[in-house]
């Protein structure tokens, strides 16, 4: 190679090295016309107003129609309803993938359901049942929780339509539920702290927080796992936001920080959100969420 050619090649290489890398162009965000709500019993609105699942009262996928109005059922102004009111895109569909008792191990399967439904907007409110176990040893490790949530997010990344939005909400601060114990009654008759004692027989969930045998140190240990899982969710959303230009990822820690009062808790089971609690979840998450400006 001639000296002149080598000099030219060197200058060309230097010039190319100095050219700034062009970031990938972000896909256009889809209108949230097909919402898929993943999660656990909170998103199913278990015992919000009536026993068992109350889907019309879900913070994410709740709805109001002729029948709910006829029977005077709650209107929680869910994300699904707000999309209808504020955005009103065509081709609307509303899927609730959440199941009572689900934990992070179930998230990959629910994510695949969201993919099957070609969701344009996926809400993720998962992890309460990871924190709420019968025994402390049953709480997943950080590595297990991260692997489960990553597997679900990876399915969403590879399977959702280009431009879809994934909104991950922090796990509720379950310690705050315990703090409300002496203010709560079930069915207006039964002291909730007495009901929570059934955790000793594994007949009520969340012995890791609500068992009467727990010390304050025990409860703070459980709360620490709650916080650690939220930190993992936040870090995963940051990672996927930076690595995937074809989808939109959002995280809010606002629900962990939210103060709840006795009227926000189900009068049926002293554990799940009431219609007022579901409405608060919807309001808080929407106002800091991906479509708040619409």
- Alpha carbon 162 to its chain centroid, in Å, reads 21
Q: Report the C-alpha gap between 97 and 107 in whole angstroms.
A: 10
Number of domains in the chain: 1
192 falls within a domain: no
Q: Phi and psi at residue 90, in whole multiples of 5°?
A: -80, 170
1 falls within a domain: no
277 falls within a domain: yes
208 falls within a domain: no
180 falls within a domain: no
Domain CATH code at residue 115 = 3.40.50.1110
pTM over 0.75: yes
Q: What is the pLDDT of residues 3-52, one digit of tens each?
A: 554 554 554 455 445 545 545 678 999 999 999 999 999 999 999 999 99
Which domain, by its residues, includes 31?
Answer: 24-173+225-287
Q: Report the C-alpha gap between 150 and 155 in whole angstroms.
A: 9
79 falls within a domain: yes
111 falls within a domain: yes
Q: Phi and psi at residue 167, in whole multiples of 5°?
A: -120, 110
For strands 190-191 and 185-186, give the pairing: antiparallel
3 falls within a domain: no
pLDDT attached to residue 8: 46
pLDDT attached to residue 148: 98
pLDDT attached to residue 258: 96
Annotate 121-157 with DSSP letters as a single string: EEEEE--HHHH--SSGGGSPPHHHHHHHHHHHHHHHH
Which is it for the CA torsion 253, 254, 260, 264, positive or negative?
Answer: negative
Sites in the chain below the pLDDT cut of 50 = 5, 8, 11-12, 15-16, 19, 22
């Amino acid at each position: 190679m001639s000296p002149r050619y080598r000099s030219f090649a060197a200058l060309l290489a230097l010039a190319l090295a100095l050219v700034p890398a062009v970031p990938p162009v972000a896909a256009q965000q889809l209108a949230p016309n097909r919402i898929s709500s993943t999660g656990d019993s909170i998103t199913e609105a278990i015992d919000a107003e009536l026993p068992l699942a109350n889907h019309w009262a879900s913070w994410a996928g709740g709805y109001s129609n002729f029948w709910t109005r006829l029977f005077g059922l709650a209107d929680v102004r869910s994300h699904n309803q707000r999309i209808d009111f504020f955005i009103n895109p065509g081709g609307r569909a509303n899927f609730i993938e959440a199941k009572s008792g689900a934990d992070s191990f179930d998230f990959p399967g629910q994510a695949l359901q969201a993919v099957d439904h070609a969701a344009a907007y996926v809400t993720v409110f998962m992890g309460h049942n990871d924190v709420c176990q019968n025994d402390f040893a049953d709480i997943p490790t950080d590595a297990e929780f991260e692997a489960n949530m990553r597997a679900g997010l990876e399915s969403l990344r590879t399977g959702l339509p280009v431009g879809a939005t994934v909104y991950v909400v922090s796990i509720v601060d379950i310690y705050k539920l315990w703090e409300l114990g002496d203010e709560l009654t079930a069915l207006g008759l039964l002291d909730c702290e007495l009901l929570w004692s059934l955790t000793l027989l594994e007949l009520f969930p969340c012995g890791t927080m609500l068992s009467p045998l727990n010390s304050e140190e025990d409860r703070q240990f459980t709360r620490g796992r709650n916080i650690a899982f939220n930190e993992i969710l936040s870090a995963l959303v940051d990672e996927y936001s930076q690595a995937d230009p074809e989808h939109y990822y959002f995280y809010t820690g606002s629900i962990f920080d939210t103060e709840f009062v006795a009227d926000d808790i189900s009068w049926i089971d002293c554990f799940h959100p009431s219609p007022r609690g579901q409405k608060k979840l919807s309001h808080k998450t929407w106002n800091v969420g991906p479509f708040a400006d619409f």
